[in-house]
Amino acid sequence: MHIPPYFKRPAWQRFFAGSVVGAICAYFVFLFIFGELQQEWIEENLSLRTSLQELNQSYETLLKNHEALDKESKEEMTLQEVEIEFTNLKELKLENDRIMVQLLKDSISEETSHLLGKPVNEVNTALDLLVSSIENKTLEVDDFKYRGTVKKLVVANNLHLSIELETAS
């Protein structure tokens, strides 16, 4: 059996040469398109990875904040400190007498010392008793006697008392 010699005819030579040149051109076009698509895929992949990392970080932060808030809400708030403020020290001419003011604060803090460390909701139930015990107590420092009236009372982690003093006879 004999294969006909097509490679000697010029028409067939042009066909084979065109096929080879066309295949080479098609290969370069394929490489160009594949490279462009690969580059777009890599850019999209990188952008999605960075957005995923940002979302994971924000999720972790939100989760930690939520856990901290949950922990705080489960823990009962306790009374940490008692702040006492006198509103009318100028009228009584006691604003410069720090020792007298400190002794007055100490005598009032004796009334509130049992509240330290207790949960705030327990303190809230005993506020009326606290106010009446402060208002009914005569504060005696040296030879002076004072009575206090509670003007403002704020309860949070700290108990803030604003007391107005008057001389008692």
Which pLDDT does position 2 carry in this prediction? 62
Terminal Cα distance for the chain, rounded: 142
Which pLDDT does position 32 carry in this prediction? 96
Q: Is the CB of residue 144 less than 8 Å from the CB of residue 92?
A: no
- pLDDT tens column, 55-68: 999 999 999 999 98
- pLDDT tens column, 105-129: 988 988 888 888 888 888 888 889 9
Query: Is 85's pLDDT higher than 90?
Result: yes
Which pLDDT does position 6 carry in this prediction? 63
Q: Is the CB of residue 25 less than 8 Å from the CB of residue 34?
A: no
Which pLDDT does position 69 carry in this prediction? 84
CA separation (Å) from 41 to 27, 32, 37, 47, 88?
21, 14, 6, 10, 75
Q: State pTM to two decimals.
A: 0.56
d(CA 10, CA 105): 118
Q: How many residues does the chain have?
A: 169
Which is more confidently placed, 72 or 53?
53
d(CA 83, CA 165): 16
Q: Single out the residue of 134, 161, 154 nearest to residue 146, CA to CA.
A: 134
Query: Is 95's pLDDT higher than 90?
Result: no
Q: Tokens representing 144?
A: 């002076």
